Amino acid sequence: MTQDLKRTPLYFLHVQAGARLTDFAGWHMPLSYGSQLDEHRAVRAKVGMFDVSHMRVIDVQGSQAKPFLQRLLANDVARLRTVGRAQYSCMLNRRGGVLDDLLVYFFASDEWRLVVNAANAQDDLEWMRSVAADENFDVALTMREELAIIAVQGPQAPRVLWQARPAWKAAAGELKRFTATFVDEVVMVARTGYTGEDGYEIILPASLAAALWNDLAQAGVAPCGLAARDTLRLEAGLNLHGQDMDDSVLPSQAGLSWTVNLDDPARRFIGREALEQAGEQALAFVGLRLLDRGVMRSGAAVQTASGRGVVTSGTLSPTLGVSIAMARVPRAVSVGDAVQVEVRGKWMPAEVVQMPFVRSGTAAGSDNPAT
C-alpha cells in the first residue's frame, strides 16, 4: 500500500482496532474489522457505524445558490421547501452522462450543502466552479476538508446515538427521513444513509470525530468497513458511481430516471437537452437473482431473449443467502424473465427481480424478516 494515500481523522483508531485497510479512491479505508458477514448482519439486525470521512462536503452559498443548483443538478432543488430537507440527485455532463450522484441539503435560499463521492470530489468541484464562472453565477463553493462523516446505521441507530450523545436528542430526535439539522453550530445530523436501514450520517469537525466513534463503540455499535457497506447497499438496490454508472451512462440506463425532474420546461439543467434528444433508451437497469450456486460479479455477461447485457454490481447476499446483482440489459427485459449469467466461464440460470432486494431487514415482497 502506497504511503501517499489520504487518511481520515479516524485512521489510527482503525489501525488500533486491527482493521484490514485498503486503497479506496486514494484513501486508507477499513475494508473490515474481522468478519464482513458479522458487520453486515449487525447493521441489518442491530446497529453498525462506518467512517465515511473520505466523502467530501461542498458548501454552496450566495444570492444565486438556488438557481445555480437548479442549473447544475438533474433533480430540482426547488422541491426542497423545508429547512433541512435533503434530496438525492445526479449531476450530469452536457451529454447527459452521470458525472456524480450526490446528496444536497437545503438550509436557506443562500445556504446549501452537497455531499459528493470521494473519487469524484476534486473533479466535481472544478466542474462546479467552471459552470459558475462560465455562466456568471454569484456563488461561493467551499470544500470542507476539515470535516469528518460518521454513518450510524441499523434499526437501533436512534437509541444508541442518543445514548452516546443525549444532548443532541432535543434537536435531532424527531428528524424525519431525508432531513438534517445542526445540533450545534458545527455538528450536522442527517437521517440518511447508504444501507437500506434507518440511521444517521453525522458531519462534524475532524477534532470531534474520534470521541464520537469511541462513545458509539462503548454504546455497543459495531465498527463496519467498506466490504459490508457494499453488500448492504447492493441489497438495498443503491448504485455505486464508477461501477453502476459513470459519465458515459445516462440516468435512465442506471435506473435513475426518478431523479431527473423535467416538470419545469424553463429549467434547462445541464444535460437536459441530451436526455430529451436521446428519448427512450435501448437499455434498462434491472435486478438479478441467481438460481444456481455461484456469485455474479461486475462485468459478467448476461444473456436474455432480447440480447446481451452486463452485470454492473454483483455479490453473495448475506441476508438472502443467494447471489444478487444489478445489470444493464435490453429494455424489453422485465421482472420475472429468465436469463443466463456467465459465472466463472459457465452460463448459469437467473431471474429478473424487483429491486430493492432487501428493505429494512426484510426480503422485498416478504412479510418475514430475511435470514
pLDDT for 130: 98
Using the predicted structure, report yes or no on whether residue 279 has a pLDDT greater than 90.
no
Shared domain for 264 and 210, answered yes or no, is no
The set of cell numbers assigned to 365 is 415482497
What pLDDT is recorded for position 145? Answer: 97
- Domain with 74 in it: what CATH number? 3.30.1360.120
What's the number of domains the chain is made of? Answer: 2
Please give the average per-residue pLDDT across 6-17, as a whole number. 98
Q: What pLDDT is recorded for position 363? A: 75
Does 1 have pLDDT greater than 60? no
pLDDT digits (tens, 9 = 90+) for 47-75: 999 999 999 999 999 999 999 999 999 99
Query: Where a domain ends, among 209, 239, 269?
Result: 239
DSSP assignments along 218-230, one per residue: HTTPEEE-HHHHH
When pLDDT is cut at 50, 70 and 90, the band that residue 370 belongs to is very low
What element of type H or E holds 152? strand 147-153
Q: Which of 27, 212, 63 is nearest to 140 (CA)?
A: 63
Do 190 and 338 have their domain in common? no
In a domain, 115, yes or no: yes
Region 27-41: mean pLDDT is: 98
- Domain boundary (239, 271, 299) is at 239
What would the grid cell of residue 31 be? 475494508
**Span 112-126, pLDDT tens digits:** 999 999 999 999 999
User: Is residue 14 over pLDDT 80?
Assistant: yes
> Looking at the structure, do residues 162 and 280 belong to the same domain, yes or no?
no
Kindly state the cell numbers that stand for 168. Answer: 443532541
Cα 33 from Cα 44, distance rounded (Å): 17
Q: Do 77 and 137 sit in the same domain of this protein?
A: yes
Residues 235 and 262 in one domain: no
- Residue type at 303? Q
- Contact (Cβ atoms closer than 8 angstroms) between residue 189 and residue 181: yes
Region for 217 from its dihedrals, namely left if φ exceeds 0, alpha if ψ lies in -120 to 50, beta otherwise: alpha
CATH assignment of the domain containing 346: 2.40.30.110
Residues in the chain: 371
Q: How far apart are CA 15 and CA 19, in angstroms?
A: 6
d(CA 156, CA 42): 10
Q: Would you state the pLDDT for residue 239?
A: 98
The pTM score is: 0.95
Q: Per the structure block, which three cell numbers stand in for 95?
A: 451529454
Pair (176, 262) in one structural domain: no
Are residues 161 and 218 both part of a single domain? yes
Nearest Cα to Cα of residue 93 among 138, 56, 133, 126: 126
Q: Which domain holds residue 279?
A: 251-363
**Average pLDDT of the residues in 289-308:** 98
Q: Please say whether the dihedral angle defined by the alpha carbons of residues 79, 82, 87 and 89, taken in this order, is positive or negative.
A: positive
Binned at pLDDT 50, 70 and 90, residue 318 comes out as very high
| Residue 129 identity (one-letter amino acid) | R
Is the distance from CB of 149 to CB of 115 less than 8 angstroms? yes
pLDDT of residue 107: 98
User: 3 falls in which pLDDT band (50, 70, 90)?
Assistant: low
β-pairing, 307-316 vs 338-343, is unpaired
Determine the Cα–Cα distance for residues 332 and 284; give it in Å rounded to an integer. Answer: 8
Say whether both 233 and 295 belong to one domain: no
Domain boundary among the residues 239, 259, 276 is at 239
With cut-offs at 50, 70 and 90, classify the pLDDT of residue 360: confident
Nearest to 56 by CA among 110, 125, 109: 125
- How many Å apart are CA 89 and CA 249, to the nearest integer? 15
- Give me the chain's average pLDDT, please: 96
Instruction: Answer for the pair 353, 287: CB distance below 8 angstroms, yes or no.
Output: yes
Q: d(Cα 199, Cα 232) in Å, to the nearest integer?
A: 13
In a domain? residue 371: no
Is residue 369 pLDDT above 60, yes or no?
no
Mean pLDDT of 91-98: 98
Residue-wise burial string across 189-202, b where 16 or more C-beta atoms lie within 10 A, e elsewhere: bbbbbbbbbbbbbb
DSSP 85: B
pLDDT tens column, 200-255: 999 999 999 999 999 999 999 999 999 999 999 999 999 999 999 999 999 999 99
End-to-end CA distance of the chain: 36
**Cell of residue 170, nine digits:** 432535543
CA distances from 63 to 9, 43, 81, 280 (A): 33, 41, 17, 37
Residue 244 lies in a domain: no
